[in-house]
């Protein structure tokens, strides 16, 4: 690999990151549009229906004006799937994703949200220490790179919860914890959205999995039938709570429940909840080893 080729590839990844961040904020995926429209059609609660109509109008206005669907540009979260033969080291990919985020923020310009946690001093460009956050997956026998950008707003991120249940508590306690979390959150995470649930692993892995779960297309099911059954159960239970759109009552508290799981220690039973609001923004790109970029709003 020549230095020039490596530089060109880094630029391609950087450009893709900059484009994905802005695109995700403006043009929400079709599965989410469909879910919001279907919910509006089904909703029987007067106030809930009115709110869903307003959300759908919000999406249309953003389309017409080429504007953001929500003012909160969030923290840029990236999911990078890197082939073992992709000719750019992850350290360079990380630098490119960071620079793309910085450029998009300054060039668009976008609102910058990133501050030092203690001093609250703003960085001004949506980057900072360990921000943007990147989830990594490494793929054998492949030379490509998939990048997904999921801007994560604070209203929903503030409604994140972790509990270290004991195994004797069983699945019932997992369901109870998810229900308590979402009912307790009420309107704060801008419902109806996607409830991401991570089960198993360790404390940090459970929350990591919950975050991965919210990045899936709306309503996709886990490949493990036991996990998929839990998704279906939780979806019904949560929509029976009556929390409704923006927490003001209704049939539609969530658009989807996505669960991701990992095996765990015999004495552990962790469960984490990560909420994604109705503005469940995401956009993806595939970068080839030659630096060609294909964009995909639906992945
Ligand atoms: S939680 Fe979502 S919809 Fe609500 S303000 Fe934040 S980004 Fe916007």
My answer on whether 238 and 166 are in the same domain is yes
My answer on whether 119 and 237 are in the same domain is no
In a domain, 203, yes or no: yes
Question: Is the CB–ligand 1 distance for residue 25 below 6 Å?
Answer: no
- Tell me, in angstroms, the distance from the centre of ligand 1 to residue 293's CA: 29
- DSSP one-letter string for 187-206: TTT-SSEEEEEEEEE-HHHH
Q: What number does the ligand 1 atom closest to the CA of 72 have?
A: 7
- Sign of the four-CA dihedral 132, 137, 143, 145: negative
My answer on whether 12 and 147 are in the same domain is yes
Domain span holding position 22: 3-26+69-153+280-296
Q: What is the full per-residue pLDDT of the chain (299 aa) written as tens digits?
A: 445 567 899 999 999 999 999 999 999 999 999 999 999 999 999 999 999 999 999 999 999 999 999 999 999 999 999 999 999 999 999 999 999 999 999 999 999 999 999 999 999 999 999 999 999 999 999 999 999 999 999 999 999 999 999 999 999 999 999 999 999 999 999 999 999 999 999 999 999 999 999 999 998 999 999 999 999 999 999 999 999 999 999 999 999 999 999 999 999 999 999 999 999 999 999 999 999 999 999 99
The neighbouring-strand residues paired with 151 are 76
- Looking at residue 84, which CATH number applies to its domain? 3.30.360
Q: Into how many domains does the chain fold? A: 2
- Tell me, in angstroms, the distance from the centre of ligand 1 to residue 172's CA: 30
My answer on whether 100 and 17 are in the same domain is yes
My answer on whether 173 and 272 are in the same domain is yes
In a domain, 105, yes or no: yes
Which residue among 69, 113, 188, 190 has the greatest number of ligand 1 atoms within 8 angstroms of its CB, and so is best to mutate?
Answer: 190
Say which residues have a Cβ less than 8 Å from residue 289's Cβ, sequence separation at least 6.
Answer: 9, 83, 85, 86, 87, 143, 144
In a domain, 41, yes or no: no
In a domain, 38, yes or no: no
Q: Are 111 and 250 in contact (CB under 8 A)?
A: no
In a domain, 31, yes or no: no
Question: Is the CB–ligand 1 distance for residue 101 below 6 Å?
Answer: no
My answer on whether 146 and 164 are in the same domain is no
């Amino acid at each position: 690999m020549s230095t020039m080729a490596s530089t060109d590839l880094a630029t391609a990844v950087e450009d893709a990151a900059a484009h994905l961040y802005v695109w995700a904020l403006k043009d929400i995926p079709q599965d989410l549009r469909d879910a919001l429209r279907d919910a509006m059609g089904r909703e029987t609660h007067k106030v809930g229906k009115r709110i869903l109509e307003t959300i759908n109008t919000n999406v249309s206005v953003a389309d017409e004006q080429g504007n953001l669907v929500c003012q909160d540009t969030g923290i840029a979260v990236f999911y990078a799937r890197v082939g073992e033969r992709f000719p750019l080291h992850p350290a360079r990919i990380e630098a490119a994703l960071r620079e793309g985020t910085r450029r998009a923020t300054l060039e668009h310009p976008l609102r910058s949200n990133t501050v030092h946690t203690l001093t609250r001093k703003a960085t001004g460009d949506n980057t900072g220490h360990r921000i943007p956050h990147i989830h990594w997956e490494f793929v054998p026998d492949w030379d490509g790179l998939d990048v997904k950008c999921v801007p994560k707003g604070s209203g929903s991120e503030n409604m994140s919860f972790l509990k270290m249940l004991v195994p004797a508590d069983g699945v019932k306690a997992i369901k109870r914890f998810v229900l308590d979390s979402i009912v307790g959150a009420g309107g704060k995470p801008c419902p109806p959205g996607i409830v991401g649930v991570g089960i198993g692993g360790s404390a940090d892995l459970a929350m990591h999995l919950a975050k991965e779960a919210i990045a899936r297309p709306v309503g996709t099911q886990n490949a493990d039938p036991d996990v998929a059954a839990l998704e279906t159960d939780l979806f019904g239970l949560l929509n029976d709570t009556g929390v409704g759109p923006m927490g003001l009552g209704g049939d539609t508290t969530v658009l989807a429940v996505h669960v991701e799981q990992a095996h765990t220690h015999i004495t552990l039973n962790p469960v984490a909840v990560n909420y994604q609001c109705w503005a469940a923004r995401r956009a993806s790109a595939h970068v080839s080893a030659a630096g060609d970029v294909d964009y995909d709003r639906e992945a």
